[in-house]
Structure 1
């Protein structure tokens, strides 16, 4: 599975390594092209997934704010709910194209 912005692949992983949570596809940390990502100052806390870290993504020389996010330390209850530890996995805004 690939995550693509303006024909630039920003993440790529085997489908079996991607976790779906609430309709979002979470890619493993190793699948992300970190050279394109920068931490955002945007703060968010989910009641059941914990503290969230947003990322802006650089594509074609421009920064696209808050297009990706991760839960760096998913709480044990959230891991139990999902059935897998998704700490550090990265999901994307609906404007990011996902390809099989």
Structure 2
């Protein structure tokens, strides 16, 4: 798996050498949680379960509902992305090498 970074407002907010390709999900340990705040949005996926969302804020600039994760995946196929964070590519720049 290639090296990947997520950048918002000029700051790298996640960086990993191993990540789950399902949605470009970053392992929880690779994400700067200081830039995340719980959002109220949730969505449902028939094979992954309920996604919870984060707002991303860096230096006063906020991207609402810009990241999501699955705290309780409902299928074995989705189990590898438990608590991994994915970012909307229209709100957060994702690069992989």
TM-score category of the 2 structures, normalised to the smaller one = 0.7 to 0.9
Q: Which runs of 5+ in 1 are unaligned?
A: none
Query: Cα distance, 1:91 vs. partner?
Result: 0.5
CA distance, structure 2, for counterparts of residue 47 and residue 70 of structure 1: 15
Q: Would you say 1:18 and 2:24 are equivalent positions?
A: no
**1:75 alignment partner in structure 2:** 74
Q: Which runs of 5+ in 2 are unaligned?
A: none
CA distance, structure 1, for counterparts of residue 8 and residue 19 of structure 2: 18
Q: Alignment partner of 2:81: what SS?
A: coil
CA distance, structure 2, for counterparts of residue 76 and residue 43 of structure 1: 18
RMSD across aligned C-alpha pairs, in angstroms? 1.4
TM-score, normalization: structure 2? Answer: 0.86
CA distance, structure 2, for counterparts of residue 52 and residue 87 of structure 1: 10
Q: How does 1:3-14 map to 2 (within 5 A)?
A: 3-14=6-17
The number of aligned residues is 92
CA distance, structure 2, for counterparts of residue 67 and residue 42 of structure 1: 10
Query: Cα distance, 1:77 vs. partner?
Result: 3.5
